[in-house]
Amino acid sequence: MRARALHADAIVVTSALLQVNCVVLRGPAGPGEGGDGGPLGVVEVPAGGAPGAETFVVDSPVLPEELELMPSLLGQAGFPAPSGLLATHADWDHVLGPLAFPGAPLGMAESSARRLAAEPGAAQRELRSFDEELYIERERPLALGAPQALPVPGRLDIGARELELHETGGHTADGMAILAPWAGVLVGGDYLSAIEIPMISPGGGVDAYLATLERLRVLLARAEHIVPGHGPVLDRERAAEVLGEDAAYLRALAERGAGAELPAGRRSREMRRVHERNVASLPG
């Protein structure tokens, strides 16, 4: 697991497996507290965070030992314990936050909450299958309960700031991107990855994916750091390049199917398998 400060109020934690990114966001208590302070290391914050500051943990690392380390990581960074967890979408590898913070409520887009309700136990079964394949043992099962359904598009208070929630779709039928404007951080979910081609999962589709990319294109102008669900954090310029490559691939997929060319640098054997699944998902 790697942890990197993107801003005084933003840390990205990258899992050793699948390069899954988890983002910790802190909303300062009021004007002048955090938010404009530069790198995390030069901002002095009392232990436990400034009074009135608030923290959300977005998505999750994967390995049990990584999840176990999350509370101490927040404490060492001077962030208060999370008042809530957020998931960009309902795929199993993004909803493991309750294993790290079992008392914190979990919030997600209304579309994701509906998906979980329509697929009871699916995330737990997929996690169990993943763990069995890699001989991973966990101390307790994943309990998601009834997540809080958040209206998207919408806004969510965090300390004295607000997070912006923007609709995503195409990879799956559900999801949201999260923008922390004061920190210049955009958490995109499973979009804009420099290591994965666009993946069309059940419920997703090319048209919905392209519409999501257009919404994200507008948000890039307001972000310094773009955090995909998997892979390296991107700056605005690199994210725009990836977005253009993804859009070109999706249009070619719709027009030529199996003949669509994969983006340069994302032509591994695994990505070719993903491409085959994408082709199989096409209508007709």
Q: Is the pTM of this model over 0.75?
A: yes
**Exposure string (b/e) for 183-201, b if CB count within 10 Å is 16 or more?**
bbbbbbbbbbbbbbbbbbb
- Contacts of 101 by beta carbon, 8 Å cutoff, 6+ apart: 57, 70, 71, 81, 82, 85
- Contacts of 162 by beta carbon, 8 Å cutoff, 6+ apart: 27, 155, 156, 181
Cα 280 to Cα 24: distance, rounded to the nearest angstrom? 36
CA distances to 15, 96, 157, 204 from 20, rounded to whole Å, are 5, 11, 25, 20
- Per-residue pLDDT at 52: 67
177 burial level (CB within 10 Å; 0-12, 13-18, 19+): buried
Q: Contact at 8 Å (CB) between 234 and 192?
A: yes
- Per-residue pLDDT at 36: 39
- Per-residue pLDDT at 31: 58
Q: How many domains does the chain have?
A: 1
Following CA atoms 166, 171, 172, 173 in sequence, which dihedral angle do they give, to the nearest 10 degrees? 60
Query: What domain range includes position 31?
Result: 2-281
What 3-state DSSP class applies to 15?
coil
The CATH number assigned to the domain holding 254 equals 3.60.15.10
The radius of gyration of the chain's CA atoms, rounded to the nearest angstrom, is: 18
Q: How do residues 69-83 score in pLDDT, each as one tens digit?
A: 999 999 999 999 999
User: Which helix (H) or strand (E) element contains residue 4?
Assistant: strand 2-7
Dihedral sign of CA atoms 120, 85, 222, 227 in order: negative
Cα 21 to Cα 61: distance, rounded to the nearest angstrom? 7
Number of H helices, E strands in the chain: 7, 12
- Per-residue pLDDT at 37: 34
- Per-residue pLDDT at 270: 97
> Could you tell me the mean pLDDT of each successive run of 10 residues in the chain, 284 residues long?
95 96 92 40 36 88 97 95 97 97 95 95 96 96 94 95 97 97 97 98 96 98 97 98 98 97 96 97 90
Q: Contact at 8 Å (CB) between 165 and 156?
A: yes
Q: How do residues 99-156 score in pLDDT, each as one tens digit?
A: 999 989 999 999 999 999 999 999 999 999 999 999 999 999 999 988 999 999 999 9
